Amino acid sequence: MNKEKQTKANKYFKRFFWAVFLFYLLILIKIVLLKDTDLSAVPKFLTGEKKGFRSFNLIPFQTFLNFSRIAGSGNFLWSISNLLGNSLIFLPFGYLLALLKSPKISKRKILFLSALLSLFFETSQYVFYLGSADIDDLLLNVLGAAAGILCFHILTALCRKDLHRIYLISLILGLLSFAGAGAIAYVEFGSRLGLVHYKSSVIGGEDIPKKEPDYTGYFMSGSDRKLRCTSDTDEAFGDPSVINITPETKVFHLSFEKEKTSFHQINTVYKRYSLSQLKSVKKHSKVSAWFAKNGRNADIIVLSDPVNTDSESVKADGASVEKKELNGTVISIGKETFVISKINTYDDKKNGGQIAESTGIHITVKYKKDLKVTVCDAYNQGTKTSYRKGSLKDLKKDRSVLLKGTVKDKIFYAESVTVYIFHK
């Protein structure tokens, strides 16, 4: 290609990439400001007629600490993806401006513009109740823009400053990145972004009664004649029960399985179990039972995968002492004692995330005056949190708590408590 044609092609490339940049800004607005909001609802947010959640954090690196705690609790990939996501969404901003900039625009000015845009997003989220304003998000966004500038300069060096070649490779990389990002957005965030809706169908559930089960609990042991169950995964608080089985009893295993031909369909599958398989059922599997008319024998039993428990055993002073973590909601407060309604949390294998399930079990908690109290301020449905030292005055009715301590005769002796305060 001669120099004149190459110069003309470069002009078209530049116009094309400016159009790409404007389209990218629209996508950025949707991802950052309107990720949980329909476009039709935007005017209501702007006028204040409708309000979502908002919070702000001006303490640098607080988000990093929170995500490190979450990563330490077993959600490593989720934490890393959230941190990287805030950087990667601004990488094209730095790259495209470096590609399109005039000689008068320096790297510092591009970083300054990325900081201004991020500040606009964070301020808008707080002012219009669209999410959380966080200094760490701004830092990550600017870091992403810096990474984009670095990528452009690496490509420039590899192409020996040949602008036409830079445009061509940028076009190819852009198409590949757009296809990859689009696929990830569709599969992982399609429902949240309003691109798709999850579908579900029931397979093999024809014999399952429509009414609520007569009994729900957790499997301890079993045979083809009876199941021994408990009302809670923690045997220290659960009440034991026995479910009688007859040859006519139908047993099913419940699971949630992704449809192989669709990323956004999760099927509820009931598989028939033989009575002989009851000997191999895993401890703490969830049990739902419907009884026959005489109320003694089970007519239908549904088993599902076991849930995780929060207790652990440690050694202290040579004796085995069972240290436990206990979640619940405060229902009454007395002198150096209070009562909670126990809550079990476990992974939601159907929709992802976690489920908090009320057990209906009331537990008396005793403590000493030197009880260590920590307050967790939670914003945006708990996705943003900050911790601070608390006092016994923070223990109030209807607040969620996380207790650490020991159990004796179904009484919980608290050594520390985290009080969760949810802010709108």
Rounded to whole angstroms, the Cα distance separating 238 from 215 reads 14
Query: Does 45 score more than 50 pLDDT?
Result: yes
Closest CA to 55 of 127, 155, 149: 127
Query: Does 302 score more than 90 pLDDT?
Result: yes
Buried (b) or exposed (e) across 66-82, using 16+ Cβ within 10 A?
Answer: bbeeebeeebeeebeeb
Q: What angle is formed at CA 249 by the lines to CA 244 and CA 253, rounded to 5 degrees?
A: 100
Mean pLDDT for the chain overall: 82
Query: Does 27 score more than 80 pLDDT?
Result: yes
Query: Does 195 score more than 70 pLDDT?
Result: no
CB 338, CB 330: distance < 8 Å: yes
pLDDT of 214:
92
Query: Does 407 score more than 60 pLDDT?
Result: yes
pLDDT of 145:
95
Mean pLDDT for 276-284 is 88
Query: Does 346 score more than 80 pLDDT?
Result: no
Q: Where in 15-126 does DSSP place strands (E)?
A: 54-57
Q: Identify the band that residue 192 occupies on the pLDDT scale cut at 50, 70 and 90.
A: low
Q: Identify the band that residue 365 occupies on the pLDDT scale cut at 50, 70 and 90.
A: very high
Q: What angle is formed at CA 91 by the lines to CA 179 and CA 15, rounded to 5 degrees?
A: 70
Top-confidence residue, 394 or 125:
394
pLDDT of 310:
46
Closest CA to 185 of 83, 41, 90, 89: 89
pLDDT tens per residue across span 50-100: 666 667 778 887 777 766 665 555 555 556 766 788 888 999 999 999 999
Mean pLDDT for 122-138 is 84
Mean pLDDT for 362-374 is 92
Lowest mean pLDDT among 67-76, 154-163, 319-328, 380-389: 67-76
Top-confidence residue, 34 or 413:
413
- Joined together, the tokens standing for residue 174 give 């852009």
Query: Does 309 score more than 60 pLDDT?
Result: no
pLDDT of 227:
93
pLDDT of 257:
83
Rounded to whole angstroms, the Cα distance separating 34 from 384 reads 17
Relative to beta strand 298-306, strand 312-316 is unpaired
pLDDT of 315:
43
Q: Identify the band that residue 378 occupies on the pLDDT scale cut at 50, 70 and 90.
A: confident
Top-confidence residue, 317 or 168:
168
pLDDT of 311:
44
Query: Does 404 score more than 50 pLDDT?
Result: yes
Q: How many helices (H) and strands (E) does the chain have?
A: 8, 18
pLDDT of 91:
94
pLDDT of 317:
45
Query: Does 169 score more than 70 pLDDT?
Result: yes
For the chain, percent of residues with pLDDT exceeding 70: 78
Assessment of whether the complete model's pTM goes beyond 0.75: no
Q: Where in 58-214 does DSSP place strands (E)?
A: 131-134, 202-203
pLDDT of 244:
93
Query: Does 390 score more than 80 pLDDT?
Result: yes
pLDDT of 228:
93
